[in-house]
Amino acid sequence: MIDDELNTEDEQQESEELYERLTLTIDRGQEPLRIDKFLQTRIEGATRNKIQIAIDNEMVLVNDKPVKNNYKVKPLDRIIVYDDRSPGSSEIVPENIPLNITYEDEDILIINKPAGMVVHPGSGNPSGTLINGVAYYLKQQNPDLDDSSLPRFGMVHRIDKNTSGLLVIAKTQKAMSDLAKQFFNHTVHRRYIALVWGDFEQEEGTIIAHVGRHKRFRKIFTAYPDGDHGKDAITHYKVLERFNYVTLVECRLETGRTHQIRVHMQLIGHPLFNDDTYGGDRIVKGTVFTKYKQFVDNCFELCRRQALHARELGFIHPKTRKPVLFESEIPDDMNAVIEKWRNYIVTR
């Protein structure tokens, strides 16, 4: 019997982490067989070369430990494969795009992404993305860098186009493998700052609801509180400042699903300010036929995207094995709209 935890194509897209995990439990009657040959017959589209590279980079674990290519599977072995399901770097053209690099060493890059920048090429965004810029930057450092040495130029997670803030890029295969596992195992610290509609009854709380693609509108995501669709998602929130009509909150992610904070906040009736996908670009509280409407419209003009910023990113450094934590200041557009609300409440 083989247990396969890999989900459908749609659900493979439902995570900010760009690695999936395939789990296999070997049948009691399995004859000894090299693990690379065994996995080639079990993973659709996998070549022996790709499997051997994954094994060499410790992306394949047997009973929670890395193995060599010549390891022979045994009955009841539990195999975990961390599987990169996103487009390969052969599709990425290096472009000279300015990057706001917060930190860099031999193993990692920490980049502060501006709002409006797409993270990686895809449908409708073939170029001009952060990864195109990273490809150019790393190629300048090492002209011999090729696709097989660093797939997708080290990207292990992503944030939305109109969300600003911190991303980590791996500069080596070992760092990439290590970080991918940390993200998948939910041990990475991620704290976001968000301005959301409405006031909160409590100072803090936790939202638990699966997040998955909308069953009818496939380009957006929705929450499934009963867990009958999508993937498990957990968001912890804490009130930072109240402005009566809107609230400044911090959100700490326990999981990293696509649009997780945006979907979870919509679920509890607090959509992100100016989130045009999940209802935050309309006045949620107040009478529209007053000066209040003009004030809100002016706020929308100051921050022309969902007011969400990835402020903190922390993990275990893949080489030193020491905890590292990086912070990014709230960008000017969010600061401007926060200050405008702060002054509005004071003067009322």
Residue 24 included in any domain = yes
CATH, residue 55: 3.10.290.10
| E strands, the chain, in order | 19-25, 33-34, 60-62, 65-66, 72-73, 78-84, 101-104, 108-113, 164-170, 189-197, 204-208, 210-213, 221-224, 234-242, 246-253, 308-316, 323-327
Per-residue model confidence (pLDDT) at position 97: 95
Q: How many domains does the chain have?
A: 3
**Which of 160, 178, 275, 333 is the catalytic position?**
160
Shared domain for 207 and 225, answered yes or no, is: yes
What is the distance between the alpha carbons of residues 58 and 81, in angstroms, rounded to a whole number? 9
Per-residue pLDDT tens for 261-281? 999 999 999 999 999 999 999
4 is catalytic: no
Residue 136 included in any domain = yes
CATH, residue 216: 3.30.2350.10
Shared domain for 147 and 291, answered yes or no, is: no
Domain stops at, among 169, 184, 199: 184
Residue 217 included in any domain = yes
Domain stops at, among 149, 184, 219: 184
Shared domain for 165 and 98, answered yes or no, is: yes
Shared domain for 196 and 282, answered yes or no, is: yes
Shared domain for 225 and 335, answered yes or no, is: yes
Q: Which domain holds residue 267?
A: 189-347
Beta-carbon contacts of residue 230 (< 8 Å; ≥ 6 apart)? 11, 14, 210, 211, 212, 213, 221, 222, 223, 224, 257
Q: Is the dihedral of CA 141, 52, 130, 182 positive or negative?
A: negative
- Whether the pTM exceeds 0.85: the reply is no
Q: Is 82 helix (H, G, I), strand (E, B) or coil?
A: strand
Shared domain for 64 and 178, answered yes or no, is: no
Per-residue pLDDT tens for 117-162? 999 887 777 789 999 999 999 999 888 776 555 666 788 888 999 9
Residue 158 included in any domain = yes
Q: Which of 8-22, 224-238, 308-322 has the highest mean pLDDT?
A: 308-322
Shared domain for 58 and 140, answered yes or no, is: no
Per-residue pLDDT tens for 156-211? 888 999 999 999 999 988 898 889 889 888 899 999 999 999 999 999 999 999 98
What is the distance between the alpha carbons of residues 113 and 166, in angstroms, rounded to a whole number? 6
Q: Is the dihedral of CA 267, 272, 274, 277 positive or negative?
A: negative
